[in-house]
Structure 1
Amino acid sequence: MTIRTALKSASLAALALTLAACNSDDTGEGAPSGDAIDPIEAPAGQSWVETASETPEGGIVVGNPDAPIKLVEYASHTCGACAQFSQTGAASIENDYVASGRVSYEIRNLIRDPLDLTIALGARCGAAESFHPIANQAWGDFQNIMQTAYANEAAYNAALQQPPERRFVALAQLAGLPQFFAQRGISADQLATCLADTDKAAEIYKNSNDQAAELNITGTPTFFLNGRRVDENSWPKIEEALKNAGAR
């Protein structure tokens, strides 16, 4: 099935990666280790936590683009374990590690379902610098978004029947997302334009699908540190891996 055909599918089943669970039991190669690395100052007048850009892999990275320690998270906006990691670790990652210039932190979308893709499109609707804050705030509102979206099964299924350029707009409205994004500076019209961008939706899906297959990612969140899979996904363990890699 082609990406565009998948986007036109009534159920969008092709957009839901076949994940064993939100969390995978797969073990990885283990994180790298190294000597302590001195902090790296940002250019005058700049802050590493406000430095962000899209990567060639389609993720959004925040921090020093030349940081010697690169943390990558494959995450889903409809994954409870990802929401838990966000709420326990995101602030510390940025304030204690990204701000030092020693660590960059990239989030790459691993799409699990249509609502996940809807939120991913919305979170990317603003500047790159706003992606991480919006993503973390969406995870902070995880229970409310999920309960609202799935409260009416018939309405959810009806949204999936909409034409591709309307489908994600309908899902967003069902989940109360226009209000959520408006409170973060993204107007309803701006959000609707982003959600109608089927080319961007196809790009996010393709990156997710291709990278999951290439890297054998079967659950979220999954972390890589300097290109090596970390066999843990809780914040205390990820922090330990960052310190072992030299962020101490």
Structure 2
Amino acid sequence: MENEFDSINIFDFDGTLTTETWPKFWVWVKKFGYNGIERNAHLESALAEYRKKHEGDALSTFFGFFNDLLVDNNETLSIEELMEGEKYIRYNPGLDDFLKKTDTKNYIVSGGLKDFLEHLKVTKCFDGIYGSSLKYDEKGKIIGIGEIMTDDKKISAIRDILKRNNREGNDCRDVYYVGDGYSDANAMKFVHDNGGKAIFVYQPNEDDELSGRNNEIYELLNADGIVDFSFLADYRDGSELSNILKR
């Protein structure tokens, strides 16, 4: 007997759909002498110094640092400058083909910048995108970071997805949430506890350090038994992840 509602997949972005956890929308920090293409000591050191002088949790101070680069220097960004990072993104294998073939509803719920994600070519295949917002001036230039998609707000985003799909209350039956990191814990728990499935994905274990990190993240996320599946982030036809998501 067919379900009375659509199957739904909800994805984190960086590290889940892509091969790296570092978001590529920070490439524009080259305007201030930083390399924003990848995680690096120079940028991490500047961020650490910023956190010594500003109160807040890791997420708010992370976005605060980049926001203040623009605000304190009275600088703006164009959408074109923001989107320069797209060319550095590497997607996990099979993603594009998977999105074109799947019959499920697919959404992104990410702490990343929504406007950046919405302009990516690959995200045209998604039914909706939720993320942190940007602030603009009257000329359409980016002047700072707006509301941040915190771990708790991801639950509000999931509730909105459920509502858009005519679900009653927190009904997550046949809803799968796919994530790769600590920031996915609240969303995973919400989906799992309300009848859905939480899927942890990881990158290939190319060395012992990466393998250890994958295991550490998985064990933390699954401390309360909220992870239903753990798969390699491989979306190619016939992979374990692809087979589960296509259901």
Bigger RCO of structures 1 and 2 (CA < 8 A, at least 6 apart): 1
Q: Tell me whether the two structures share a fold, i.e. TM-score over 0.5.
A: no
Compare the two structures and name the one with the higher helix fraction: 1
Instruction: Give the alignment's TM-score, normalised by structure 1.
Output: 0.30
